[in-house]
C-alpha cells in the first residue's frame, strides 16, 4: 500500500477519468469523492458531493 485516504463511509466504486488525472470514489452513503493525482504516486482530495436519494420505480 502506497497511500491510504480516510472517508466517512465504505467506498463501493472507483473510476479514473480518461486522462488518468481524476479518480471518482463512490461511497455506501451516496457521496462521490473526487481525487486528483498530484504526481505519479500520490493522490489528494479535490472535493466531495452528495447524491440525492433515488426512489424505486414500480411497474
Q: Residue 7 CB: number of other CB atoms within 10 A? A: 14
Q: What is the rounded CA–CA span in Å between residue 7 and residue 5? A: 7
4 SS3 class: coil
Nine cell digits for residue 47 = 472535493
* pLDDT tens digits for range 6-58: 888 999 999 999 998 999 999 999 899 999 988 777 777 787 777 666 555 45
Residue 59: what pLDDT?
A: 47
Q: Note the pLDDT of residue 16.
A: 93
Helix or strand holding residue 29 (H, E):
none
Amino acid at each position: 500500500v502506497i497511500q491510504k485516504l480516510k472517508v466517512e463511509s465504505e467506498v463501493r466504486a472507483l473510476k479514473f477519468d480518461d486522462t488518468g488525472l481524476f479518480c471518482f470514489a463512490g461511497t455506501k452513503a451516496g457521496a462521490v469523492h473526487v481525487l486528483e493525482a498530484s504526481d505519479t504516486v500520490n493522490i489528494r482530495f479535490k472535493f466531495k458531493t452528495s447524491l440525492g436519494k433515488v426512489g424505486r420505480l414500480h411497474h
